[in-house]
Chains A and B, each alone.
Chain A
């Protein structure tokens, strides 16, 4: 029998646990079960257990293409977030307090606007008759509009815009723990500003880059609204495919199988990425 003292942590974490159970674990398990059921146009969902859906997905190059496109979009988004976010976080940290809090608000701004509204904004910018094409045409730089809407490139641009705050915050948190005099020490030892950044700051930002890229990659790989609006019907990614299977084809089991495969592959990619970085930069991880 446990004493009341020992029960306290359980009682206190109880509500959160129930919430997780009801809203996350149960739907996940049910999706997992659903993915083994079969589906026919006339009989609907049949309560049998087969690997049929997985065999269908894994045997069809159409799905491979969608998965590959999804991960490429997520990867390129992550790379851009690292390239833009890391220097930005470093610059932010070195600003004066007032300028810093204003700039931080600018950086976090995108998170305050609904993803749909923001994405529609991008659609206005990127369309064939959109702001960018109109401007380039009126400047005489191009004769016919450059196709940007309904391309993977357009999706990446909008995703980077949404995801970059996560990268900046993660890198910011990692860099805040550093000792700023280490940079002065490196300088006094003869390191140029570039060397100070690449040899001293960057390695110390690594834990932040790791956690930031994990967040950005997984959110980009499973993003729905942005690819749905900017990709249209032509540029399909995994999440929009799942949506179509559930709501257009009504083939829930196949949709569930694709969703499970997405979850599993994102997990595998994240875990191996984590391993790789932690091995390479042992010193900075506590």
Chain B
């Protein structure tokens, strides 16, 4: 039996359904992300696990304990809020000690645990500070220490890095992963930031309109998305309308914009499909040699890489190229592009609602 089992969880508000038939199992020590755009129900799911919202139906079982009738304050979960939710009138130390105090842990023990938690997040030197005198990253770590000090069975992170600037966010991602693994705590992260989800989690659960769309490791989800929505949500991609002509055990043939293209074997019936090709999988070459011709429409320099918008017979394509310190094709120039057939992802034709 899994450590955390969420079964057919559903939440309906008077007019809308926030979460529908959501099931997920999480193993002990695992780091799972709920990823999706705003309004996809990920935060509502977290709120139900935390005990701040009552599910309409379905169950949440943590370590063999059904949480349905247990109020939030008795669930013993560590929660880090998007706004950090620190107690402004208490020092860092008092903030962290609060949960222990509520549990009636005696003073010497409490002091020792607070010191250990602050050590874990590297804030021992600021123990006497008030939250308002700290930076966003530091507050974030106080919130984390406060959630971890009660040794929760489950750590819930609600968009914990969204209030930090880009550079700090990257640092905190590494820090968060280190702290989670050192504490060995089972963690559920809610985020709309795909790079955050991919960097931190063992598995990603992609949600859309209250439903779980795909569950898998970051690599698998990125490489084999089940729909164009997921493909688009997890990084950039080129989506092309295509028609599947035939597929065998080893390869398939597609027609995109009247041009025959080969792709990997796929478990779909011939007919309308979507072909998705990641910008970093397309290579720009100079020799024609049977490659597809393309014209550079736009070029953007991003420091470590170049982003091209190309016009081809297949349609407009985005191409990302690592900056190798060489001259790259300029707008208006004609180039040739090439990609491995197996990098073409063939997905069911998207319907707006899917």
Contact = CB atoms under 8 A, between A and B. Distances in A.
Interface of A: 178-179, 181-182, 184-192, 195, 199-200, 203-204, 206, 281-284, 286
Contact of B73 (A178, A187, A282): A187
- The secondary-structure label for the interface of chain A is helix
A190 B150 contact: yes
B89 A189 contact: no
Contact of A181 (B77, B85, B98): B85
Interface size classification for chain B = 20 to 34
Contacts of B131: 283
A184 B79 contact: yes
Contact of A200 (B78, B83, B87, B143): B87
Given A195-B102, A283-B130, A286-B132, A187 B87 contact: no
Contact of A191 (B52, B81, B89, B102): B102
A190 B88 contact: no
Nearest to A284: B89
Contacts of B88: 178, 182, 204, 283-284
B245 interface: no
B211 interface: no
A182 B79 CA distance: 11
B89 A204 contact: yes
Contacts of A195: 102
A173 B162 CA distance: 27
A181 B79 CA distance: 10
Given A184-B52, A186-B98, A190-B73, A282 B130 contact: yes
27 contacts: A181-B81, A181-B83, A182-B85, A182-B87, A182-B88, A184-B79, A184-B85, A185-B81, A185-B85, A185-B86, A186-B98, A186-B102, A187-B52, A187-B72, A187-B73, A188-B79, A188-B147, A189-B73, A189-B98, A190-B74, A190-B150, A199-B87, A283-B130, A283-B131, A283-B132, A284-B88, A284-B89
Instruction: From B79, B82, B130, B146, name the one whose CB has the most chain A CB atoms within 10 angstroms.
Output: B79
Contacts of A281: 89
B271 to A, nearest CB: 49
